[in-house]
């Protein structure tokens, strides 16, 4: 599997085992393969300013990330960090544009779905080389995202996606938190009224990550896969069953209207305002929900599995990943910032603030012991395995979009599930 993209995991994520075959890491357009050690520093003895582009700061408590940067600057005289912060969507646009033009910020927040494209463009640096140059002990990293044996992204913190249920709505309908698919559809039907929908499914093609977080999560929750030997396998029984199940929910009228245009932030807003009883969402949204509606009581549990399934459940997750731009003139200093963020103390502090699981294998976030909801979530996380098969795939977001287009046609009654999956399979094979 040396020629493929893979995630190396240890610690919390030791059981994940994702391997993608057949992806090449050859750099395109100019073959940007400069020696990281040769241009790692400014070489002038002058102070270095690192640009750090990310979407994290708006999602963290005010001043938290800046405080960490101040601590880093104090520990590393001569290096200043300029935070370039914005929402996820605008940050993505900025980073993608910088990758294409060779003007990417020195340090960049990365989504695993972007890595393969950026490596093929020669836009992000080989972190394995930077770690070697710095004499870094990589055993403390819980995970690394690699292509062809080289690391290009390090997950800083990991956000599990689980089932959120509105306690009051379920209690009023006389139903418990569902654990199986049949229990879920029964609960969704019981709570659905003119004012409340049982479940919400964001399927916007503009931001197609709903396919990853809200659709394939049903596959992974029952130990299924959308791949076979690293290649697309969308017509298998696991994906077929999950897709037919979502059609069943749609036919039952329990899915919130407007799914084709909804984005992730829409489902959080609808759940927070009590217009949706259940959603699959990131633990990162817990504080957002609490801040917006302090009176809302909710429960977090594993995504329901197929009836009769007794194996480990795959827990969908997303990461705040980090990388270094190939065009950066300050790679050594950029690595120092990553080293700092991945240190046990700083990483635990960041994970606590973000309500996420740490990327440092020895860090322990305090929130796990201080909050009942997070204790429950951590138990779910430990009982299953991290699952996100889109990480490291070529044009991952386009793959989501192509499946999403077909699922929309199914829900609109235009085609059957079998035809939709065959169409999506063919489209994915073309991308591979």
**Domain boundaries in the chain?**
5-158+318-387, 160-316+391-431
Q: Angle CA(320)–CA(388)–CA(159) in degrees, nearest 5?
A: 35
- Pick from 91, 183, 158: nearest CA to 317: 158
d(Cα 153, Cα 127) in Å, to the nearest integer? 7
d(Cα 59, Cα 226) in Å, to the nearest integer? 31
pLDDT confidence of residue 31: 37
- Mean pLDDT of successive 10-residue stretches along the chain, which has 432 residues: 38 31 28 38 70 95 96 98 94 95 97 90 97 95 88 94 97 97 98 98 95 97 95 97 98 97 95 97 87 93 96 90 98 98 96 89 82 85 86 88 98 98 97 90
Confirm if 283 and 146 have CB atoms less than 8 A apart.
no
Confirm if 153 and 341 have CB atoms less than 8 A apart.
no
Which element (helix H / strand E) includes 353?
Answer: helix 344-354
The DSSP code for 38 is T
Domains 5-158+318-387 and 160-316+391-431 share a fold: yes
- Pick from 6, 298, 257: nearest CA to 152: 6
d(Cα 192, Cα 188) in Å, to the nearest integer? 6
pLDDT confidence of residue 45: 57
Confirm if 181 and 409 have CB atoms less than 8 A apart.
no
pLDDT confidence of residue 143: 83
pLDDT confidence of residue 42: 43
Confirm if 320 and 56 have CB atoms less than 8 A apart.
yes
Q: Quick check: helix, strand or coil at residue 272?
A: helix
pLDDT confidence of residue 423: 98
CATH class of residue range 160-316+391-431? alpha beta
pLDDT confidence of residue 20: 27
Residue spans of alpha helices (H) in 49-113: 64-75, 88-101
- pTM of the full structure: 0.74
pLDDT confidence of residue 376: 85
Confirm if 412 and 222 have CB atoms less than 8 A apart.
no
Pick the CATH number of 5-158+318-387 from 3.40.190.10, 3.40.50.2300, 3.30.70.140, 3.40.50.360: 3.40.190.10
d(Cα 86, Cα 72) in Å, to the nearest integer? 21
């Amino acid at each position: 599997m040396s020629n493929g993209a893979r995630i190396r995991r240890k610690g919390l994520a030791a059981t994940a085992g994702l391997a993608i075959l057949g992806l090449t890491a050859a750099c395109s357009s100019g073959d940007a393969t400069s020696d990281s050690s040769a241009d790692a520093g400014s070489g002038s003895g002058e102070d270095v300013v690192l640009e750090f582009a990310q979407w994290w700061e708006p999602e963290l408590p005010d001043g938290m990330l800046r405080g960490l940067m101040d601590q880093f600057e104090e520990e590393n005289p001569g290096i200043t960090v300029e935070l370039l912060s914005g929402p996820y969507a605008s940050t993505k646009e900025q980073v993608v544009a910088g990758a294409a033009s060779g003007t990417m910020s020195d340090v960049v927040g990365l989504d695993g779905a972007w890595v393969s494209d950026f490596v093929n463009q020669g836009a992000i640096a080989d972190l394995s080389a930077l770690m070697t140059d710095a004499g870094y002990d990589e055993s403390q990293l819980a995970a690394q995202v690699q292509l062809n044996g080289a690391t290009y992204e390090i997950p800083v913190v990991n956000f599990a996606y689980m089932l959120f249920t509105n306690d009051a709505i379920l209690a009023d309908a006389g139903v418990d938190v569902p654990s199986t698919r049949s229990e879920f559809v029964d609960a969704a039907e019981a709570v659905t009224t003119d004012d409340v929908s049982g479940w919400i499914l964001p399927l916007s093609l503009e931001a197609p990550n709903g396919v990853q977080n809200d659709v394939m999560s049903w596959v992974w929750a029952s130990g299924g896969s959308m791949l076979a030997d690293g290649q697309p396998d969308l017509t298998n029984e696991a994906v077929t069953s999950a897709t037919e199940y979502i059609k069943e929910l749609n036919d039952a009228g329990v899915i919130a209207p407007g799914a084709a245009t909804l984005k992730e932030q829409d489902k959080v807003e609808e759940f927070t305002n009590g217009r949706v009883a259940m959603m699959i969402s990131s633990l990162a949204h817990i504080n957002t929900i609490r801040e917006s509606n302090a009176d809302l009581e909710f429960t977090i549990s594993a995504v329901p599995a197929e009836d009769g399934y007794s194996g480990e459940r795959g827990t969908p997750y997303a990461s705040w990943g980090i990388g270094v731009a190939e065009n950066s003139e300050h790679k050594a200093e950029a690595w120092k910032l990553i080293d700092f963020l991945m240190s046990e103390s700083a990483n635990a502090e960041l994970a606590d603030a973000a309500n996420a699981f740490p990327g440092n294998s020895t860090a322990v976030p305090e929130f796990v012991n201080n909050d009942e909801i997070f204790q429950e979530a951590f138990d779910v996380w430990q009982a299953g395995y991290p699952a996100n098969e889109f990480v490291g795939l070529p044009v991952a977001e386009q793959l989501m979009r192509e499946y999403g287009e077909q699922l929309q046609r199914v829900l609109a009654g235009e085609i059957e599930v079998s035809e939709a999956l065959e169409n999506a399979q063919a489209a994915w094979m073309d991308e591979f």
